[in-house]
């Protein structure tokens, strides 16, 4: 089982973000969330713990005593020494004490940098000073986490390819082993959605720059938006992309039981009041096609051995038939196909949305 825990609190909403979070909250709200979250975690039935991912919101907005309570509950999931335990962190919320504590309890930390440029962060509506960013990165580097990721956004208004390449070089030179590069996308519900129009002309150039620049540092693309040194891929995400079982804890957290997607209410009040989750009921065939399409975002794609591990998997021959139908609706140049592997070509990666729509 993979576990996702959602901390729905932030010091205000970034302009590009449409994830559920509470930008205005009281200490009592946090304590009520924490009480219920800990009860939920410790009340789960026993299962083999594959990965734990703590996201948000801003997980590191919690105080040190609150983090201690949360991880005391997380220990009930019985993670093994090698279990990947990830946490997202915003630089402005990190202190030396928090970093020291997290270094003892997680083996993967993801830093929401978004941009090393204070001006570009301001464009994104991202509240983080240059001093806070630099101090946090020094602390994380000094702590020597086994794995750490830097999140970056590209195609920001005013950002040139040269500026983007400099961002990538700064990330790689810090010594992180994973970089996530997200194309700025106007999301419905984001505070600055109408203003943050990405530079589409440069977005493909910047995507290619990410591959070429990071690979020169040994950080290879393994998914459309994710790059890692060998062995440093995010196991939690890889498991979920391949249809792994997932338990979601907290408001707006999603889970997957092998057939249904289970999404908790995206309201702290409703979640605290035990409002029922939304159950995404689709046919077995539709769910298979959805999982198949999602993992085509990865460089490795699908092999017969991977596919047979998917819940309710059909035959490899059926997967090849579906790909032939998708090619007829899209383009043969989007795929690299052999009897033992199905992947997208570089051109296909750029048109994944079109491919997924045809497949699903």
Give me the half-sphere count of Cα atoms (radius 13 Å) on the Cβ side of residue 49: 21
| Percent of residues, the chain, with pLDDT higher than 70 | 96
Spatial CA neighbour of 41 closest among 18, 69, 21, 13: 69
If 0-12 CB within 10 Å is exposed, 13-18 middle and 19+ buried, where does residue 101 land? Answer: middle
Looking at residue 360, what is its pLDDT? 83
**pLDDT tens string 150-208:** 999 999 998 999 999 999 999 999 999 999 999 988 765 555 555 667 777 789 999 99
CATH topology of domain 283-360: Arc Repressor Mutant, subunit A (1.10.10)
Residue 271 predicted with pLDDT over 60 = yes
Pair of tokens at residue 268: 């702290």
Residues 148, 232: Cα–Cα separation, whole Å: 9
Domain boundaries in the chain?
2-239, 283-360
Residues 287, 259: Cα–Cα separation, whole Å: 7
What is the mean predicted confidence (pLDDT) over 203-231?
Answer: 97
Looking at residue 251, what is its pLDDT? 98
Report the top-level CATH class of 2-239. alpha beta
Helix axes 316-329, 284-295, angle to 10 degrees: 70
**pLDDT tens string 1-21:** 999 999 999 987 676 776 788
Which runs of E-coded beta strand occur in the chain?
Answer: 2-7, 51-56, 84-89, 108-114, 147-154, 178-183, 220-223, 226-228, 246-249, 254-256, 261-263, 278-280, 335-338, 341-344
Looking at residue 115, what is its pLDDT? 97
Residue 26 predicted with pLDDT over 60 = yes
**pLDDT tens string 92-148:** 999 999 999 999 999 999 999 999 999 999 998 888 999 999 999 999 999 999 999
User: What are the Cα distances from residue 169, in Å, to 137, 149, 163, 356?
Assistant: 15, 14, 10, 32
Report residue 48's pLDDT band, with 50, 70 and 90 as the boundaries.
Answer: very high
Is the pTM of the predicted complex or chain greater than 0.85? yes
| Percent of residues, the chain, with pLDDT higher than 90 | 87
At 120, which helix (H) or strand (E)? helix 118-123
């Amino acid at each position: 089982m993979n576990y996702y825990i959602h901390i729905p609190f932030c010091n205000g909403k970034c302009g590009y973000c449409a994830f559920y979070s509470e930008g205005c909250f009281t200490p009592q709200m946090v304590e009520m969330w924490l009480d219920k979250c800990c009860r939920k975690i410790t009340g789960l039935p026993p299962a083999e713990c594959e990965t734990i991912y703590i996201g948000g919101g801003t997980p590191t907005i919690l105080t040190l005593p609150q983090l201690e309570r949360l991880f005391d509950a997380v220990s009930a999931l019985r993670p093994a020494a090698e279990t990947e335990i990830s946490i997202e962190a915003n630089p402005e919320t990190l202190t030396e004490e928090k970093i020291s504590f997290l270094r003892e309890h997680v083996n993967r930390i993801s830093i929401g940098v978004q941009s090393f440029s204070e001006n570009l962060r301001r464009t994104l509506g991202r509240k983080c000073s240059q001093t806070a960013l630099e101090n946090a990165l020094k602390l994380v580097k000094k702590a020597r986490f086994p794995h750490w990721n830097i999140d970056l956004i590209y195609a920001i208004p005013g950002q040139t390819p040269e500026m983007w390449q400099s961002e990538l070089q700064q990330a790689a030179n810090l010594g992180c082993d994973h970089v996530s590069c997200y194309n700025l996308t106007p999301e419905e519900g984001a505070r600055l959605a109408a203003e943050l129009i990405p530079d589409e002309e440069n977005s493909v150039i910047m995507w290619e720059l990410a591959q070429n620049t990071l690979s020169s540092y040994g950080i290879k693309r393994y998914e459309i938006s994710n790059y890692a040194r060998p062995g440093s891929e995010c196991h939690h995400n890889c498991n979920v992309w391949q249809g792994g079982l997932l338990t979601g804890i907290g408001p707006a957290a999603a889970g997957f039981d092998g057939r249904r997607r289970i999404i908790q209410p995206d309201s702290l009040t409703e979640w605290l009041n035990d409002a029922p989750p939304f159950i995404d009921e689709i046919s077995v065939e539709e769910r298979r096609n959805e999982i198949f399409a999602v993992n085509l975002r990865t460089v490795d794609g699908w092999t017969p051995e991977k596919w047979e591990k998917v819940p309710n998997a059909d035959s490899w021959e059926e997967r090849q038939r579906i790909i032939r139908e998708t090619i007829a609706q899209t383009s043969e140049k989007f795929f690299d196909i052999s009897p033992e592997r199905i992947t997208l070509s570089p051109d296909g990666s750029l048109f994944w949305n079109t491919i997924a729509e045809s497949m699903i």
